[in-house]
Amino acid sequence: MGALSFYPAAKILPPLNNHSSRARNPMNINLIPAQVEPLESRIAPATLVVNVLTDPTTFTPHQLSLREAIQDAIGHGSTTIVFSPTLHGSLTLANGAGPLSITNENLTIIGPGGGKIVIEPWAFARTQIFTIDTSKVSISGLTLADGNTTSATGGAIYSQGPLTISNCLIADSSAQSGGAIFDSTTSGAFVMTNSLVVGNSATSGFGGGLDVSATGGISITGSKIIGNTASDGEGGAYLIAPSNGTGNIVVANSIFYGNTESGGGALGTNDGTTLPAKTVIVNTIVTGNVSTGGGTSGIFLSTANEDSVVVSGSSLLNNSSSGRGGGMYLSGAGAVTIVGSHFSGNTSPGGGGIYIDNAATSVTIQGSTILNNVSTGSGGGILVDTSGVNLTLAGTTLAGNHAASNGGGLFLSTNTGITKITGSTFSGNQALENAGGAYIAGSGNVSVSGTKIVSNFSGGVGGGLQLNSSGIHTVLSGNIIANNNAQGNGGGLYIGGTGTFLISSGSFTGNFSSADAGGIFIGTTASGTIQTPAVHITGNQAVGYFETGAGVDHASGSTGTVTMHTKYVTGNLGSGKVDNYSGSFTP
């Protein structure tokens, strides 16, 4: 049947003066003279078969190039373009011909996959590979390489319509934004599956790999975003759900590796929809990414009031940032839930693992591990830099994190929200200034229960935990606070501030202070209750030169009132002698 398979028209038409007549006369049949009545409109073939890897500017009989196939399909509804199975190699766009332009179509282009067909511009041309209007387009099984534009967006693909990319490799392309792909659609979704985006760059904007805004939602699954760069933000991908959008942002089973950005993350999402929507990141690895210009290096998540974020089963590893949030930066008023995820080896000046900014309102971290992250400021594991967030840590481990300032595991200051820590572990964290395990301050309610705070170190006060509360509801129950070390007061726990506290049960054992109070230190203005004997305080040590209260020390000159049965505080050692408590206590 010739170069292309088709569904024939109802009547045989006279030949036209352009190459589209090949679809009507594939076997060179003598046509009926021109005076025969023509059809009102042509019926387009359902499938066009490309049989040459050239980009001719003139028509050649029995040959169909990709550019010609795209032109043949214009205005004729849904069309599929495939490639002859004998084709493999490079398709170089003709010099001066410009990109492959798709307009007014519902078009599917199916390549053979496996890197068999590579589409690239002419060697010295600075041009994109595909430009697409609001058409709905699907591209699969192709390699797109070396697309380049210095004056526009979308180095390999520029689109304003719904776009699906699957089983593609897009490499070494460059644009102002969206080095590989720029898609801004108000009529549908962006979908990418099982694709590799590598070595692309955004020279003056966002999204070294992808810059996408789609009202119908965004989905990236089974894909790898590797080694892309951006001069402004999000070296890997920048994904936007606009204010008039109705869809979700979903990233699943994907890898973001080795991307570099000056102001954003490997992956950035901005969900600004006015209707409830979700950003979901699941089973995704974000590793080895670098930010040099003050942004996060891993994932940046921003949400609007009605939206929510779920991060599940994902790993953020060995990312490095010159700004806040080495692994993840959370912003916006939407509710954030992190479940079963792993943060390890990330570094930044604040919040080595996770940074939560002053716009956040609700963050829950459940069943996750935050290990060996480093902050050159505060919050080696987590830094909460907001006054109104409700923070919940449940069944989560913070271990081996390091802060050059305060809060080796967690730093939360001036909070007016609710802080709830349950069934978690703080272990082996270090802060060179204060609060080796965790620092929590503010007027909000605080509850720490069923949690192990063990073997943490502080260069100042609060080896395990420092509470500087001005609130009236700070409750500790059923915790194990053991073997922590502080160079200042409060080897296990330091309580400052003007608030009230209740320690209803739990144990303080084996903690050490180089100053006062190996177990618990209570400042001059704090008031509260330690319910001994349900609270077990023994085996703690303080070795300060003027050491007092190796078990519990209520600072001299205090205006606050502390209730505790002192007789149950036993076996604590201070400067070579038994020294269980010091200060005034109400039985």
Among 39-43, 133-137, 522-526, which stretch is predicted with the lowest mean pLDDT? 39-43
Residue tagged 């940046």 (tokens):
300
Among 363-372, 383-392, 504-513, which stretch is predicted with the lowest mean pLDDT? 383-392
How high is the pLDDT of residue 77? 82
pLDDT tens-digit profile of 234-289? 999 999 998 888 889 999 999 999 999 887 679 999 887 767 788 999 999 999 99
Region 373-400: mean pLDDT is: 95
pTM for the predicted model, two decimal places:
0.90
**Strand 474-477 to 446-449 pairing:** parallel
- Stated as kind and residue range, the H or E segment containing 332 is strand 328-332
* Structural contact between residues 377 and 352, judged by C-beta atoms closer than 8 angstroms: no
Measured distance CA(436)–CA(406) in Å, rounded: 7
How high is the pLDDT of residue 220? 98
Cα separation of the two ends of the chain? 100
Residue tagged 């609130």 (tokens):
471
- Confidence band, pLDDT 50/70/90 cuts, at residue 184: very high
- Confidence band, pLDDT 50/70/90 cuts, at residue 210: very high
Residue type, 154: G
**What DSSP character marks residue 124?**
T
* Structural contact between residues 118 and 141, judged by C-beta atoms closer than 8 angstroms: no
pLDDT tens-digit profile of 436-455? 999 999 999 999 999 999 99
Measured distance CA(136)–CA(303) in Å, rounded: 28
How high is the pLDDT of residue 305? 65
Measured distance CA(254)–CA(439) in Å, rounded: 35
Q: Is 236 left (phi over 0), alpha (psi -120 to 50) or beta?
A: alpha
Region 40-64: mean pLDDT is: 81
Using CA atoms in the order 165, 171, 176, 178, what is the torsion angle rounded to 10 degrees? 30
- Confidence band, pLDDT 50/70/90 cuts, at residue 10: very low
pLDDT tens-digit profile of 470-512? 988 899 999 999 999 999 999 999 999 999 999 999 999 999 9
3-state secondary structure of 286: strand
Residue tagged 């962006």 (tokens):
190
Q: Which of 551, 499, 541 is nearest to 523 (CA)?
A: 499
